[in-house]
Amino acid sequence: MCRHLAYLGPPTPVGELLTRGPYSLRTQSWAPREMRGGGTINADGFGVAWWHLPDAATPDGGPGVIWHGGASPDSRAAARATSAETASTTADLTVSRYRNAAPIWTDPAVGEVLPQLRSTAVLAAIRSATVGMPIERSACAPFTHGRWAFSHNGAIPDWRRVLTDVAAEFGSPPLLEAESLTDSAALWVILRGLLEGGGMEPGEAVRRVMAAVLARSPEARLNLLLGDGVGIWGSTWHHSLSVLAGDGFFVVASEPFDDDSRWRPVGDRQLVRVVGGRVSVEPLDIEIGRAGS
C-alpha cells in the first residue's frame, strides 16, 4: 500500500520532508515498516504538494503563507494576533505539486530541487500501484483541485461500478474528469465535488464518501489524507496512521519517520483533524454494507 504524510508548521524545505528521519518517506519506498500485508515496496512513483500565496501577495519574497496554528503557547498567541490577517489571505492559497512515476529514490529533484522550496504546508505520497491500475504520473497522488490536495492509501474492489454508483448518489462532477483510470483518482473527483463551494466540513465530506463506498464495497481500504494548506484531515480504514504534534508543528503520516517519542498511533476506523492548531481524533461512525448512510 502507499504511504503518505502531511505537514503543517513553520516554513520548511519541501524536499526535506520527503527525506527527514531514518524512516523517511523516501526510505519507506523500499523499506516500509507497516504495510499490513498490502504490498512490499512503494516504487510506482511519488508526489508532493505544497501551498503558497500568489507571488503578488508576497512582496517580501517569503514563503507566502502565514502559519497560524501550533501546539506551543507562543504559536497560539501568534495565531490570535494574526487571525484577522490570515482570514483575508488563506482564501487565496494555491497549491503546487511535483510528481514522477519513477521510484522516489531515482529522482535527483528530491535532493537537489525540492529542498529549495519552502512551505508551511506539505502533503506527499509514495505509490504502490494496485494490481491492474496504470503506472503513470497522473496516477500519483497528491491529486489537487483549487486549494485542496488529496492522497488515498488503499484500494476499492470493483471500483468502476462502485464509484459510478457513489458519484450518482452525490451528483458528483463527471468521473471522466479523473486524471487517471484508478480508484484513487475517481474517488478524488467525488470528494472534491463535496468540498467545492465550501458547504461541507471537510471531515464530514471524508466520512460521507467513505460511508457511501463501504456500503457498496465492504472490503474497501480507505485511508484518506486531505489538506487545504491550513488544515489536515486523515482517515484510517485498514492501514496505519500516526500523528506527531511537535513544538509548533504537526505531521500526520502513515508511519513515523523517526523515533520522536511524541508520535502517537491512530487506531483503525478513526478520523483525524488538525485544524486551528489542535489535533482531534474521533471514531468513524460508519456501518458497513448499508447504502445511503
Nearer Cβ to ligand GLN, position 140 or 245? 140
Active site residues: 2
What whole-number distance in Å separates Cα of residue 24 and Cα of residue 211? 32
Q: Which three cell numbers stand for residue 58?
A: 508576497
The least distance separating ligand GLN from the CB of residue 91, rounded to whole angstroms, comes to 31
Residue 58 or 105 with smaller CB distance to ligand GLN:
105
Positions that interact with ligand GLN (CB under 6 A): 1-2, 39, 127-130, 133, 139, 152-155, 182-184
Name the residue nearer to ligand GLN (CB basis): 107 or 118.
Answer: 107
143 Cβ partners below 8 Å, 6+ apart? 149, 150, 151, 179, 184, 185, 188
Burial class (CB in 10 A: 0-12, 13-18, 19+), 292: exposed
CB of 162 to ligand GLN, least distance (A): 13
Q: How far is the CB of 206 from ligand GLN (least distance, A)?
A: 16
Min separation Cβ 45 and ligand GLN, Å: 9
d(CA 20, CA 38): 24
Phi, psi values for residue 267, rounded to 5°:
-65, 170
Between 11 and 39, whose beta carbon lies closer to ligand GLN?
A: 39
Residues, the chain: 293
